[in-house]
Amino acid sequence: MSTVLVTGFGDYAEETDNPSGAIARRLDGRQVGDHRIVGSVLPVNTATVESALVSALDRARPDVVVVTGVAPGRTAPALERVALNVRDFPIPDTDGSTPIDEPVVVGGPPAYLATLPVKAVMDSWHRAGLPGYVSNTAGTYLCNQTFYLARHLTAGTEVRAGMVHIPVVPARATGDTTPLPSMPLALLEQAVLVAISVSAQHDGPDLRLGAGAIS
Ligand code: PCA
């Protein structure tokens, strides 16, 4: 039996019903195949997110960590390939803090690649009829910070860590004449579940599938 920690985020700015937090709550305690899921909701707070993540890691002792967060404007779920050691916040966090060009970890490596099998997850999404892609930037806000921390804290261990960004749900996209792209919560939850089970089961190197981008 392996354990997967899935984190989502609480509300922030215009995301007053963050689907990533809702999914983490819904999946907490679920067992999928041979995998036990621990779900945890993290604060959108640059000063406290690390201690919240460390407590979740201590509690779950996971084999796999899947950080999730909402990215308004994204068209579909995305596996993030890279976490940067940069905090350059486009909006303040829930405490009003707006770091500019500060590292996530002082003296840490400039970047980490995900240790989840991002291509295998993308392939399974497509086989399950779910849209999804590999993204080459997780931004420079809380999700990137948390993804970087998850990789930093698991570096040199067998634990695999990565991040999935999800679009907003339809309710968040109404009332606008140029609506944000959206997907229903049930489909987003299914995408996160596929990411969890493929990441927990996949053995050996990632699939060799092209999913690059020009920009
Ligand atoms: N999304 C933000 C932070 C919290 C969340 O759900 C991000 O993508 O950085």
Confidence at residue 111, expressed as pLDDT on a 0 to 100 scale: 99
Please list the residues that pair with 179 across neighbouring strands: none
Please identify, in words, the CATH class of the domain defined by 2-201.
Answer: alpha beta
Residue whose pair of structure tokens reads 């840490």 in the numeric block: 108
Q: Which ligand 1 atom minimizes the distance to the CA of 69?
A: 6
Q: Which ligand 1 atom minimizes the distance to the CA of 12?
A: 4
Kindly give the distance from the C-alpha atom of residue 145 to the centroid of ligand 1, in angstroms, as a whole number.
Answer: 9
Task: Mark the ranges of the chain whose per-residue pLDDT is less than 70.
Answer: none
Confidence at residue 86, expressed as pLDDT on a 0 to 100 scale: 99
Confidence at residue 52, expressed as pLDDT on a 0 to 100 scale: 98
Kindly give the distance from the C-alpha atom of residue 188 to the centroid of ligand 1, in angstroms, as a whole number.
Answer: 15
Confidence at residue 176, expressed as pLDDT on a 0 to 100 scale: 87
7 Cα distance to chain centroid:
7
Confidence at residue 188, expressed as pLDDT on a 0 to 100 scale: 98
Judge if the beta carbon of residue 148 lies within 6 A of ligand 1: no
Is pTM beyond 0.95 here?
yes
Confidence at residue 175, expressed as pLDDT on a 0 to 100 scale: 86
Cα torsion 23, 199, 158, 4 to 10°: value is 30
Angle at 210 between CA 152 and CA 35, to 5 degrees: 50
